[in-house]
Structure 1
């Protein structure tokens, strides 16, 4: 494919809550939970933030990072589990906010935590075929977890945007491959405020089967092996799963370390894997190769082989890095967290 990433941008809310703050309310062992999940704090949206505002901020950072003319963007796809409207697209609001031309196609994607990478694949196909000049693919979530549920320790907020095209690439997408089955490990029915999950079933046969199948098949298809990559990113519902799947596939802890942001961020759902890629691009050098594999419950995985170009050095400092966005957090207690997340009903 003669297509790749033209620019990228991320956004993470400043508010955080520590795992021990949540555990105090529910009487759980904070150290046991934090060490078991490998998550120690998570981001929390401000009262006036949602998946749309987060998507807009990430998109603006992507546009500003490489000084992209927004009128060149001819497709916008936003993946999320928490679109604020059941019937009203997120992507049209993003288009208006960033100054894109109305001569574009837009749609919202939903496939649990891989809706963002599904949007990337759609933009890849359209840009590579010549249907569009540039495409904007976004993964954005203010993910939900019921009070007292295990998800409450990891469900976070954040978003990432990638501009996909054929010219002035900072990273070339060498190939992509998906593996998908009907595995109902996680779901939220219409009208229900919080998702439900199948407990340990979400690991096997959901996460590990799909991630290993997509990643190994892509490498087989390309004739590559783990040692051919400088970095690897796997979907991060917690710190434990990506660390384990990396070992299964033959990747080292050094290869996944730059992109493993979940311990300080939590699970940003549709933005999770894409946030790890953004953190890796923040420090990658020209010629580096990256393997990224997303996972979405329900279930499926999208794997990508990516090669970084010389242009990365030119645009890297044009927008905040993931590390900068994680810095200087504002910590809140459970009461403020519940208010910010709308868990208190009047």
Structure 2
């Protein structure tokens, strides 16, 4: 089967702490931090969007892959915050990484699992020998309405994966998906902020799909939690991630490395891909990884992955997740609101 030839990540430089947001809305920061298991989140600067994040992640993935970008046969960018309503982000990435025009490219949207959907598409194209290499990206600059619970977690970041059969650093053993029509979270056309179903987003949405996909993967592979060295899940907050991991039988040593939300927030389509990248940054040859995404609406993609010997030669060729997590500067709420475009003057329209 296809495998991961290279991976790359990007996380914006700026951060805002939970207590800074709570101070503005009169919330208890300690209760927020404990309840969501989030301390701070990344904030994109005014000149950063899903396209720029995708380009940076893609370039880093190609550094590790060490392939000619002209050999890329497909590029998919999964996001729910594409900068254009009608204009693909994927073509911007293709041009920026100097890919040949003889490729297929598209933007994908499935809330927070669009990035892993792109990985699955690339896996299929590679396995069928339709292309030699595919580039799958999950990236977002997530939105949360002022004073909404999402404002404490909605952040920005992304990860890119070069998928192919040759010179892989990790190999896919299998994938399994679980999908239903569960409208727990949505944003209508033209609306700046999404709406969510509150507690409804837990049991019938996130947990049902993540657990079902993971258990389906277990059954398909004939495995259980004890067969994996690492586990990564979608992380709308740290609380859901940890609870899902424990329900499936994973312990802290297995799930801790991929848990990034406490330090950078929920990067939406970038969340599971970034968590997986953090694991690949420290994984040893022979390690087995389970990765499970989740997208509202609703569905989950699960992957069983085995790391091979080439990881040792490739992982230091591009910035690691932890380096970007630690490279940061804090902003206050006023700067954050300006950067995120939360301040809009009446009568002005954006073109």
User: What TM-score, normalized by structure 1, do the two folds share?
Assistant: 0.99
Report SS of the residue matched to 1:227: helix
* Deviation at residue 321 of structure 1 after TM alignment: 0.2
What are the Cα deviations for residues 151-185 of structure 1, in whole angstroms up to 9, with x where unaligned?
A: 00000000100000000010000000000000000
Report SS of the residue matched to 2:294: strand
Q: How many residues matched?
A: 345
Report SS of the residue matched to 1:233: strand
* 2:38/2:237 contact within 8 Å kept: yes
Map 1:67-146; keep pairs closer than 5 Å: 67-146=66-145
| CA distance, structure 1, for counterparts of residue 187 and residue 106 of structure 2 | 21
Report SS of the residue matched to 2:192: coil
1:34 equivalenced with 2:33 (yes/no): yes
* Deviation at residue 204 of structure 1 after TM alignment: 1.4
* 2:5/2:64 contact within 8 Å kept: no
Report SS of the residue matched to 2:161: strand
| CA distance, structure 2, for counterparts of residue 55 and residue 337 of structure 1 | 21
What is the match of residue 344 of structure 1? 343
Report SS of the residue matched to 1:296: coil
* Deviation at residue 66 of structure 1 after TM alignment: 2.8
Map 1:1-346; keep pairs closer than 5 Å: 2-346=1-345
| CA distance, structure 2, for counterparts of residue 44 and residue 73 of structure 1 | 31
What are the Cα deviations for residues 269-298 of structure 1, in whole angstroms up to 9, with x where unaligned?
A: 000011000000000000000000000000
Query: What are structure 2's unaligned runs of at least 5 residues?
Result: 346-351
| CA distance, structure 1, for counterparts of residue 13 and residue 4 of structure 2 | 27
What are the Cα deviations for residues 226-250 of structure 1, in whole angstroms up to 9, with x where unaligned?
A: 0000000010000000100111111
| CA distance, structure 2, for counterparts of residue 67 and residue 153 of structure 1 | 38
| CA distance, structure 1, for counterparts of residue 12 and residue 47 of structure 2 | 11
* Deviation at residue 328 of structure 1 after TM alignment: 2.8
* Deviation at residue 67 of structure 1 after TM alignment: 1.8
Question: Once structures 1 and 2 are overlaid, which stretch shifts more, 175-184 or 60-69?
Answer: 60-69
* 2:65/2:162 contact within 8 Å kept: no
| CA distance, structure 2, for counterparts of residue 3 and residue 122 of structure 1 | 11
* 2:140/2:157 contact within 8 Å kept: yes
| CA distance, structure 2, for counterparts of residue 181 and residue 24 of structure 1 | 38
Report SS of the residue matched to 1:57: helix
What are the Cα deviations for residues 71-116 of structure 1, in whole angstroms up to 9, with x where unaligned?
A: 1111000000100101000000000001000000000000000000
| CA distance, structure 1, for counterparts of residue 60 and residue 15 of structure 2 | 21
* Deviation at residue 35 of structure 1 after TM alignment: 1.1
* Deviation at residue 68 of structure 1 after TM alignment: 1.9
Query: What are structure 1's unaligned runs of at least 5 residues?
Result: none
| CA distance, structure 2, for counterparts of residue 76 and residue 325 of structure 1 | 24
| CA distance, structure 2, for counterparts of residue 214 and residue 65 of structure 1 | 29
User: What TM-score, normalized by structure 2, do the two folds share?
Assistant: 0.98
Report SS of the residue matched to 1:218: helix
| CA distance, structure 2, for counterparts of residue 142 and residue 176 of structure 1 | 27
What is the match of residue 349 of structure 2? none
